[in-house]
Homo-oligomer: A and B are copies of this chain.
Amino acid sequence: MSRYWNDRVRGLVPYVPGEQPKDERDWIKLNTNENPYPPSPSALAAIRDALGDSLRLYPDPDGTPLREALAEYYDLSPEEVFVGNGSDEILAFAFMTFFDSARPVVFPDITYSFYPVYAAHFGIPFRTVELEEDFALSADKLIRAAEGGGGILFPNPNAPTGVGLPLTEVRKILDRADDQLVLIDEAYVDFGGETAAGLIRSYPNLLVVQTLSKSRSFAGLRVGFALGNADLIRGLERVKHSFNSYTLDRLALAGAVAAIRDEAHFAAARDKIIAARERTIAALRELGFIIPPSQANFFMAGHPQLNAREVQQALRDRGILVRHFAKPRIDGYLRITVGTDEQMDRLIACLRELLLHENRTGGRS
């Protein structure tokens, strides 16, 4: 603590990112929802082409070529697209643009753990809506909780549960909460969720946020984007140009444009991940694991006979990193990223072995 910090910083409880191991061990890294497959070779080639003397010049502060590529992809205009340094930066900008201290925002009780951090940081009050017993998000409950509120925010599919909300329910929220911004965080939507991108022109209160970190294998490049009514996008631009005008560097812009255009590469990796997810979930359920249905590149798994925290450590001892959240309702589960087929085989084998051991030793915990 320093005497030079302001009061808000003294009270902050910052976000804790998942571990990025720095040692040389060849970890099976299923803890931060990265894509196990490499980025598009044509995107890497585009970065290589942009890598040269022109790096002495500032990038385009508006990210125009990337906005054009995304507009084309989603059948929108570039004025309906905002780009930023990862979707986290865009979420932060959205908090600064659309929410205020007068009215609470609403999000699920179990959700991306950065939301309450943003709220505290920007001085925005919030209410949470309890997920159903099966971890589904109830649109009706959300709408009721948002009455008189200042905004709605949820991931679809949700994290860390992986559970998706059907578009019919999304529409219901947009219709009924038309007095406030509805921010849908679609970081994982490409793995089987239903995107609301097609609803942008119908709902002036809808902002959809996505990222290239997951389905485009570019977590290390830091590119996210938002889709929404041009008025909403202009608000984000005002905030960005009051914060940092050049958030995306020349290499990230070049790589992102090419990644968006390489549909075949994207689709192949996505399909492999979805297949591996379904196969893994089926195998683990056979072992007695309880796993909510996932539309993401991760799933949440708990076992009545196993202590999740201990399983996390046991997997770590075997070279597999997964994530555990010491939070009510989900502390009996692990969040496991879907990796390659080989990685999933190894995961299943390790969990089977742990269960066998548990059954043999009679379940001391």
> Contact residues of A with B, CB < 8 Å?
1-2, 4-9, 12, 14-18, 20, 22, 29, 32, 34-39, 44, 47-48, 51-61, 64, 85-86, 88-89, 92, 96-100, 117-118, 120-121, 180-181, 204-205, 213, 217-222, 229, 231-232, 234-235, 237-252, 255
Contact = CB atoms under 8 A, between A and B. Distances in A.
> Chain A binding site: helix, strand, loop or mixed by DSSP?
loop
A241 B14 contact: yes
Contacts of A4: 98, 180-181, 204-205, 231-232, 235
Contacts of A250: 220-221
Closest 4 CB pairs of A and B: A14-B241, A2-B231, A38-B53, A220-B250
Nearest to A5: B235
11 contacts: A4-B231, A5-B97, A6-B98, A55-B218, A56-B218, A56-B220, A86-B244, A88-B246, A96-B121, A117-B241, A251-B251
A234 B2 contact: yes
Contacts of A238: 5, 9, 12, 14
B17 A39 contact: no
A242 B5 contact: no
Contacts of A89: 243-244, 247
B249 A15 contact: no
A198 to B, nearest CB: 20
Q: Which of the listed residues A51, A98, A100, A234 has the most CB atoms from chain B within 10 Å of its own CB?
A: A51
A22 B98 contact: no
A251 B221 contact: yes
B121 A242 contact: yes
A158 to B, nearest CB: 20
Contacts of A217: 55-56
Contacts of A34: 56-58
Contact of A249 (B52, B53, B220, B232): B220
Nearest to A179: B3
A86 B246 contact: yes
A283 to B, nearest CB: 25
Contact of A22 (B29, B60, B88): B60
Contacts of A234: 2
A60 B213 CA distance: 14
Contacts of A38: 52-53, 55-56
A58 B220 contact: yes
B251 A47 contact: yes
